[in-house]
């Protein structure tokens, strides 16, 4: 292990300058994970009923603080997805070094372990940066956490590099480097796993809906949040499955009927590896479902409070702040997921750089290849985003029927999938400068 750590450190220090962005993104992901985790520990360390001068009382009561902590912990999911995407694209850029290690006698498992340790060193730098950010913020606010919170801070700073290494190992577990410099990926079939997830989510929705319909005292209070979670889980899993299934179906159909070169190339890519799209878009689809639901619930809740008109201004500020905080959390998760999409698109281009260089050398115009990159995102994402919007509206309508029956629900949440879809296309477009580099004639030396 010590020898692997020394090799990983040497590789990190001697990396090519073109890899600065990969290390930067990994460090940023580790910094965000550390900040979210330390913020959750800071809020958890507050005991009893207190009076905090900001947040309009949202952090005064233990119950509300638990919701804030849950939101901060959930933000770690897209961050871990971002770290996984960075690990995948890093493996492609390190193919020659991986091949050199294989020629020196290293096994594929040891190569992946060295890559994980390299990611861990970068994550450690990011986690230390996150600790500095949180410490400065607490000092500015004049808040001194107890000793138990500081112990948690140290544990988080050490745990983030470990988590980054585990995510890297998970992302690279199917990457095999040959001694001749070829890097290939063993692609599993994710269809059976997704079907099982859909069945479990459907059973959960049915059970919680039955509990809500029966209205058994306390179970009725607990069943509505569980029903919302089940709907989000079911729709998110269904959207991910639809992304993969539609990729395969569109790829087969358009390969036979496409008249445009860009559509033909994109369809061939979707047909050959349909579940790569589902893996890349999973976090975005889940964020879309939650975003539609949050916007819908916010509209219904604020409309009811305005109709009542009997609550004091402080109470209205409390509810408004809570809704705005939930929306801000969704927006942060969306930005992180879009960053992961941009990294995943770049990873896809780097993986196919040999084929792209061959296509460019054969005379395929650059604008055709650029359209292909955008179509690979736009085609399978459209039906999945539609299903995600339907799932979010189901949460919105369920809450509207329970809280404000007989009122016409707001249509504002329907704008969320449209906005997210456009943002996804923009995120994919950020990889177009990399596409120009991947189509240089010098890339033909890898064929």
Q: For the whole prediction, is pTM greater than 0.75?
A: yes
The predicted-structure confidence for 201-221, as pLDDT tens digits, reads as follows: 566 656 655 555 555 444 444
Residue with tokens 């799209």: 277
The residue that leads in pLDDT, 411 or 116, is: 411
Q: Taking 50 as the threshold, does the pLDDT of residue 238 lie above it?
A: yes
Q: Which residues contact 325 (CB under 8 A, 6 or more apart)?
A: 55, 58, 68, 71
The residue that leads in pLDDT, 178 or 126, is: 126
Span 328-346, average pLDDT = 86
Q: Please, which residues bridge with residue 177 across strands? A: 183
| Model pLDDT, residue 195 | 58
Cβ atoms within 10 Å of 114's Cβ, excluding its own: 24
Span 222-228, average pLDDT = 60
**Cβ(36)–Cβ(144) below 8 Å:** no
The residue that leads in pLDDT, 356 or 235, is: 356
Q: Taking 90 as the threshold, does the pLDDT of residue 94 lie above it?
A: no
Q: Taking 70 as the threshold, does the pLDDT of residue 236 lie above it?
A: yes
Domain residue limits, the chain: 1-186, 191-447
Q: Taking 80 as the threshold, does the pLDDT of residue 116 lie above it?
A: no
The residue that leads in pLDDT, 316 or 210, is: 316
Q: Taking 80 as the threshold, does the pLDDT of residue 193 lie above it?
A: no
Cβ atoms within 10 Å of 352's Cβ, excluding its own: 17
| Model pLDDT, residue 216 | 46
Q: In angstroms, how far is the first alpha carbon of the chain from the final one? A: 34
Confidence grade of residue 197 (pLDDT, cut at 50, 70, 90) = low
Confidence grade of residue 311 (pLDDT, cut at 50, 70, 90) = low
The predicted-structure confidence for 10-61, as pLDDT tens digits, reads as follows: 766 666 555 667 778 888 888 988 999 998 888 888 776 666 666 555 666 7
| Model pLDDT, residue 34 | 92
């Amino acid at each position: 292990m010590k020898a692997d750590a020394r090799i990983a450190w040497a590789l990190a220090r001697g990396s090519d300058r073109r890899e600065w962005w990969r290390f930067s993104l990994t460090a940023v992901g580790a910094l965000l994970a550390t900040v979210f985790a330390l913020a959750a520990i800071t809020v958890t360390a507050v005991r009893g009923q207190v009076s905090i001068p900001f947040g309009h009382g949202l952090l005064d009561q233990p119950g509300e603080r638990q919701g804030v902590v849950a939101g901060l912990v959930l933000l770690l999911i897209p961050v871990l997805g971002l770290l996984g995407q960075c690990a995948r694209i890093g493996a492609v850029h390190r193919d020659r070094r991986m091949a050199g290690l294989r020629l020196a006698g290293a096994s594929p498992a040891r190569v992946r372990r060295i890559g994980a340790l390299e990611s861990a060193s970068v994550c450690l730098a990011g986690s230390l940066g996150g600790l500095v950010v949180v410490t400065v913020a607490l000092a500015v606010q004049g808040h001194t956490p107890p000793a138990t919170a500081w112990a948690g801070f140290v544990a988080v700073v050490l745990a983030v590099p470990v988590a980054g290494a585990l995510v890297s190992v998970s992302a690279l577990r199917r990457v095999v480097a040959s001694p001749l410099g070829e890097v290939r990926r063993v692609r599993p079939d994710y269809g059976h796993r997704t079907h099982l997830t859909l069945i479990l989510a459907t059973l959960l929705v049915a059970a919680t809906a039955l509990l809500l319909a029966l209205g058994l005292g306390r179970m009725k209070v607990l069943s509505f949040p569980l029903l919302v979670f089940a709907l989000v889980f079911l729709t998110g899993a269904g959207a991910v499955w639809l992304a993969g299934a539609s990729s395969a179906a569109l790829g087969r159909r358009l390969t036979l009927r496409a008249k445009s070169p860009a559509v033909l190339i994109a369809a061939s890519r979707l047909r050959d590896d349909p579940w790569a799209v589902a893996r890349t878009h999973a976090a975005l689809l889940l964020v879309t479902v939650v975003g539609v639901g949050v916007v819908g619930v916010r509209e219904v809740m604020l409309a009811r409070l305005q109709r009542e008109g009997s609550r004091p201004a402080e109470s209205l500020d409390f509810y408004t702040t809570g809704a705005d905080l939930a929306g801000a959390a969704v927006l942060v998760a969306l930005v992180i997921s879009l960053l992961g999409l941009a990294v995943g698109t770049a990873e896809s281009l780097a993986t196919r750089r040999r084929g792209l260089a061959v296509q460019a050398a054969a005379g395929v115009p650059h604008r055709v290849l650029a359209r292909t990159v955008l179509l690979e995102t736009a085609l399978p994402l459209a039906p999945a985003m539609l299903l995600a919007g339907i799932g979010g509206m189901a949460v919105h309508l369920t809450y509207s029927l329970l809280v404000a029956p007989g009122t016409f629900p707001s249509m504002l949440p329907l704008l969320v999938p449209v906005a997210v879809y456009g943002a996804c296309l923009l995120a994919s477009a950020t990889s177009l400068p990399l596409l120009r580099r991947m189509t240089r004639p010098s890339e033909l030396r890898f064929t």
